[in-house]
Amino acid sequence: MNEDAHHHHHHHQYTKDLSKAFLFSIVLNFLFVIIEAAYGFYANSLSLIADAGHNLGDVAGLVIAWLAFRLAQWKPTTKRTYGFSKATVLAALSNAIFLFIAVGAITREAIGRIINPVPPDAGLMVWVAFAGIVVNTATALMFLKGSKFDLNVRGAFLHMIADAAVSVGVVIAGLLISATGILIIDPLTSILVSIVILIGTWRLFKDSLNLALDAVPEDIDYNAVVEYLSGLPGVTDVHHVHIWGLSTTSVALTAHLVISCANAKPELLSSIKEELRDHYGISHATLQFETPDFGKCRERLCKLNQ
């Protein structure tokens, strides 16, 4: 099996496994939402009810992420020449917004419970929340590998980690209420967990918003790329360098290089693209060679500002 075929097989298996992880997570977490909400009302626990609501939002986020992941596999069309890969960026942004909304809902309800404390069934809180830790941690582990390469998968991973964190908070709250009888521990714990979720969600929101606005991806060093292109043999000027994310895993670049006729060879073009892919994480590069006597392209022909 040659290298390209091996890479294609590996990518196909990766997408297949990830799709299964999404489906399993959606079903498992939806079932747990129903169970947790029922026990939350039965135990009169805000933490359990809030956690169930948070989990329901996460299930919706997982559905969006899975649909975006599937759309990203669709081939480009004459209407959408980049395909549907940008859907992963929109899904990641939606997931971050879902988390922000969940934090707001939990905090609002917690403030109400601080003003008017309600005694929960602390023992039941602990057992149900512990089950939540197991379910959410197991789900998060399914996305651990993919979260390192795909912002959309990282969003799903953060959702599950956030859910596990909320469940840990509920367990602690239940144990403390049992030991001290202080009822406001339940809503106070919910607020503390909300702060943790908020901090973890901020970067996901910032990164996905930047990608949606076609900003340079966070892990790409724009200046280093320009410096590399400027140092190529025969290159006297580099301009109109644009770098943006096609999806949460694919990065594109366009650039104009003023280069001597002697150096403007197809072999150099191929080696540049290979270097950009292997060392700078840019998978889709479009380069335009211009000879010195071509004139200043940026002044005469190019209408797009750098």
Give the mean pLDDT of 180-188.
87
pLDDT over threshold 50, residue 122:
yes
Output the pLDDT for position 294.
62
pLDDT band at 155 (very low <50, low <70, confident <90, very high): confident
Residue 261 pairs in a beta bridge with: none
User: Which position has the token pair 């043999």?
Assistant: 233
pLDDT over threshold 90, residue 142:
no
Q: Tell me which of 116 and 10 has the higher pLDDT.
A: 116
Output the pLDDT for position 153.
78
**Nearest residue to 257 via CA among 220, 282, 231:** 231
pLDDT band at 64 (very low <50, low <70, confident <90, very high): confident
Output the pLDDT for position 304.
45
d(CA 154, CA 143): 7
User: Residues 189, 195, 198, CA angle at the centre, nearest 5°?
Assistant: 140
d(CA 298, CA 134): 58
Question: Can you list the alpha helix ranges (DSSP code H) found in the chain?
Answer: 3-43, 46-71, 87-115, 122-143, 151-180, 185-212, 222-230, 266-280, 297-300
Query: Is the four-CA dihedral 184, 36, 137, 63 of positive or negative sign?
Result: negative
Output the pLDDT for position 149.
67
Would you say 48 and 128 are in contact if contact means Cβ atoms under 8 Å apart? yes
d(CA 201, CA 97): 9
pLDDT over threshold 80, residue 269:
yes
pLDDT over threshold 80, residue 60:
no
Output the pLDDT for position 131.
92
Mean pLDDT score of the chain: 82
Taking the C-alpha atoms of 284, 145, 168 and 69 in order, what is their torsion angle to the nearest 10 degrees?
50
3-class state of residue 251 by DSSP: strand
What would the pLDDT profile of 212-267 be if each residue is shown by its tens digit? 899 998 889 999 999 999 999 889 999 999 999 888 778 999 999 998 887 878 88
What would the pLDDT profile of 71-105 be if each residue is shown by its tens digit? 777 888 888 888 887 877 888 788 788 888 888 88
Output the pLDDT for position 6.
44
Give the mean pLDDT of 175-186.
89
| pTM exceeding the 0.85 threshold for the entire prediction | no
Alpha carbon of 127 to those of 39, 103, 131, 168: distances in Å? 10, 23, 6, 11
User: Residues 161, 163, 167, CA angle at the centre, nearest 5°?
Assistant: 115
User: Which position has the token pair 């997408």?
Assistant: 15
Give the mean pLDDT of 259-286.
89
Greatest Cα pair distance in the chain: 83
Domain annotation for the chain: domains and CATH numbers = 3-212 (1.20.1510.10), 222-300 (3.30.70.1350)
DSSP letter string, 112-126: HHHHS-----HHHHH
- Stretch among 44-48, 118-122, 187-191, 299-303 having the lowest mean pLDDT: 299-303
